[in-house]
C-alpha cells in the first residue's frame, strides 16, 4: 500500500496526501483528518527508501563495533541507539569483528545505506583515513584501536571520544603500590594497540616508581573462553598483583586462580578494566577502572547529530577513569571518580 493508494482512496491528489500525512505544508483541517484516517485504515507505512531518495536525507546514524556479545560494546551501543532514536535518527549497528576486512565491509554497508554520521568503536581503521577516503565529515571514533595511537606524536583528531588509558593505568598502579604491592604483572589479550598502550604505561609507571619491573603476560584474544587458559600463564613465583587488559579477562583470571586454590585478594590482587556490569557480581567483586561506556555511546550519537547540522566536529574528548575499588584488591571498597 503506497501513498498513491491512500490518495486515491481518499479522493485527493498524491501531493495533498503527502502534506496531510506529514503535517507539513498548508492543508485544511478536514482534508488532513480524512487522509490520516484513510491511511490508518489502509495501514499505510511510508517507504523509507523512497523518502530518503526524495529528501536526500536518510536520518540514519551508523555504529561500527567489534562484537555484540562484548559487554563494552553492548553498553556503547545502548547509549548510541538511545540518543539516536531520541534525536529522530535510526541507528544501524554493524559488527566489524575487530578486523580490517570486517570493518571495511561494515563501513561500506553504512555508506550504501546513506548513514549521515558514523561512529566507529574500538576500530582498527584510522578515522583520518576513513574521513579522507569516504569524504565523510560526520565521523566519530570511540576508543580508537588502530596503530596510530601508539605513535609518539599521536594527537587524537576532532570527533575522538576516548577513555584516558594512560592516567587510568597510572592511577591503578599507584593504587596498587599504595596498598603495598611491589610485584605487579599485566595480562593482555591479543596484541591490539590499545592493549600495548596499557602495558607500556604500566611498565613506565612501575619503573618511575622504582618498583619491580612489570611482568608482562599475554594470552589469546579469547582465551577467557577456555577454562584455565588465562590462569595458566601465571607462573610461580606469583606476582602480588595483576592488572588485566579488560574485565572479561580479569573475571576469567579470578576464576582460574581460585580454581587452582589461589586466594584473591589474599594471595594476589586483581584489577580489571572497563567496569562492565558483571565485574560487580563476581566473588570477590572485581576492582576495576570503569569507563563511562553508555555515556560514550550517547556522546558519540549526540556529537554526530551536532556535526550533521553544523558540519563541524568538536575537539577530542578524553574521559577520566573511575577507579572502583571492590573486593579483589585489599583496599577498602570505594569509588574514586576522576582517578
Partner DNA sequence: TTGTATGCGTTATCAC
Partner DNA sequence: GTGATAACGCATACAA
Enumerate binding residues for a copy of itself (CB under 8 A). 43, 45-50, 52-53, 58, 67-71, 74-75, 77-78, 81, 85, 90, 92-95, 105, 108-109, 111-114, 133-135, 224-225, 227, 248, 251-252, 254-255, 258-259, 277-278, 280-283, 285
Residue 26 found at the interface with DNA (CB under 7 A) = yes
CA distances from 188 to 158, 194, 325 (A): 29, 10, 21
* Minimum gap (Å) between residue 301 Cβ and DNA: 23
Who's near 167: CB < 8 A, 6+ residues apart?
320, 321, 339
Who's near 286: CB < 8 A, 6+ residues apart?
247, 250, 251, 254, 270, 271, 272, 279, 280, 326, 327, 328
Q: What is the DSSP letter of 95?
A: E
Supply 288's cell numbers. Answer: 576495576
**CB-wise, 46 or 190, nearer to a copy of itself?**
46
**CB-wise, 111 or 229, nearer to DNA?**
111
Of the candidate spans 27-35, 99-107, 181-189, 229-237, the one that interacts with DNA by CB under 7 A turns out to be 27-35
Q: What does the alpha-carbon distance between residue 61 and residue 55 come to, in Å, rounded to a whole number?
A: 16
Residue 56 found at the interface with DNA (CB under 7 A) = yes
Residue 115 found at the interface with DNA (CB under 7 A) = no
By a kind-dependent CB cut-off of 5 to 8 A, residue 21 interacts, out of DNA, a copy of itself, none, with DNA
Q: What is the DSSP letter of 12?
A: S
By a kind-dependent CB cut-off of 5 to 8 A, residue 282 interacts, out of a copy of itself, DNA, none, with a copy of itself
* Minimum gap (Å) between residue 128 Cβ and a copy of itself: 16
Residue 25 found at the interface with DNA (CB under 7 A) = yes
- The residues in 36-55 that bind DNA, with binding defined as CB under 7 A, are 44-47, 50-51, 53-55
User: What is the helix, strand, coil percentage profile of the chain, to 5?
Assistant: 45, 20, 40
* Minimum gap (Å) between residue 289 Cβ and DNA: 45
Q: Which of 241, 244, 245, 249 lies closest to 278 in space, CA to CA?
A: 249
Residue 110 found at the interface with DNA (CB under 7 A) = no
Residue 58 found at the interface with DNA (CB under 7 A) = no
Q: What does the alpha-carbon distance between residue 314 and residue 228 come to, in Å, rounded to a whole number?
A: 45
Say if residues 189 and 219 touch (Cβ distance below 8 Å).
Answer: yes
CA distances from 152 to 124, 128, 147 (A): 18, 17, 11
Phi then psi dihedrals of residue 108, to 5 deg: -65, -45
* Minimum gap (Å) between residue 56 Cβ and DNA: 6
By a kind-dependent CB cut-off of 5 to 8 A, residue 26 interacts, out of DNA, a copy of itself, none, with DNA
**CB-wise, 31 or 258, nearer to a copy of itself?**
258
Using CB under 7 A as the criterion, which residues of the chain lie in contact with DNA when the complex forms?
2-4, 11-16, 18-19, 21-22, 24-28, 30-32, 44-47, 50-51, 53-56
Amino acid at each position: 500500500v503506497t501513498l498513491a493508494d491512500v490518495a486515491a482512496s481518499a479522493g485527493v491528489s498524491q501531493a495533498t496526501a503527502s502534506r496531510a500525512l506529514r503535517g507539513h505544508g498548508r492543508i485544511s483541517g478536514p482534508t488532513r483528518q480524512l487522509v490520516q484516517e484513510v491511511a490508518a485504515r489502509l495501514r499505510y507505512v511510508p517507504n523509507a527508501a523512497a523518502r530518503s531518495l526524495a529528501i536526500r536525507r536518510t536520518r540514519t546514524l551508523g555504529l561500527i563495533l567489534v562484537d555484540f556479545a562484548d559487554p563494552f560494546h553492548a553498553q556503547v551501543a545502548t547509549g548510541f541507539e538511545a540518543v539516536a532514536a531520541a534525536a529522530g535518527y535510526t541507528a544501524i549497528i554493524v559488527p566489524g569483528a575487530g578486523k580490517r576486512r570486517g570493518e571495511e565491509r561494515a563501513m561500506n554497508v553504512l555508506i550504501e545505506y546513506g548513514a549521515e554520521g558514523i561512529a566507529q568503536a574500538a576500530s582498527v581503521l584510522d578515522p583520518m583515513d576513513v574521513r579522507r577516503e569516504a569524504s565523510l565529515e560526520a565521523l566519530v571514533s570511540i576508543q580508537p584501536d588502530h596503530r596510530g595511537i601508539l605513535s609518539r606524536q599521536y594527537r587524537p583528531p576532532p570527533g575522538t571520544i576516548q577513555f584516558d588509558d594512560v592516567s587510568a593505568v597510572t592511577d591503578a598502579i599507584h593504587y596498587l603500590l599504595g596498598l603495598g604491592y611491589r610485584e605487579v604483572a599485566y595480562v593482555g589479550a591479543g596484541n591490539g594497540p590499545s592493549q600495548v598502550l596499557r602495558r607500556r604505561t604500566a611498565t613506565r609507571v612501575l619503573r618511575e616508581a622504582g618498583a619491580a619491573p612489570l611482568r608482562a603476560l599475554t594470552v589469546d584474544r579469547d582465551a577467557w573462553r577456555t577454562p584455565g587458559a588465562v590462569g595458566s600463564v601465571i607462573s610461580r613465583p606469583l606476582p602480588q598483583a595483576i592488572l588485566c587488559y579488560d574485565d572479561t579477562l580479569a573475571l576469567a583470571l579470578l576464576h582460574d586462580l581460585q580454581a587452582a586454590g589461589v586466594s584473591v585478594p589474599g594471595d594476589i590482587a586483581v584489577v580489571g578494566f572497563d567496569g562492565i556490569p558483571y565485574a560487580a557480581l563476581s566473588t570477590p567483586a572485581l576492582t576495576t577502572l570503569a569507563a563511562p561506556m553508555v555515556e560514550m555511546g550517547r556522546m558519540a550519537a549526540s556529537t554526530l547529530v551536532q556535526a550533521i547540522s553544523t558540519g563541524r566536529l568538536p575537539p577530542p574528548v578524553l574521559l577520566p577513569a573511575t577507579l572502583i575499588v571492590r573486593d579483589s584488591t585489599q583496599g577498602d571498597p570505594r569509588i574514586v571518580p576522576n582517578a
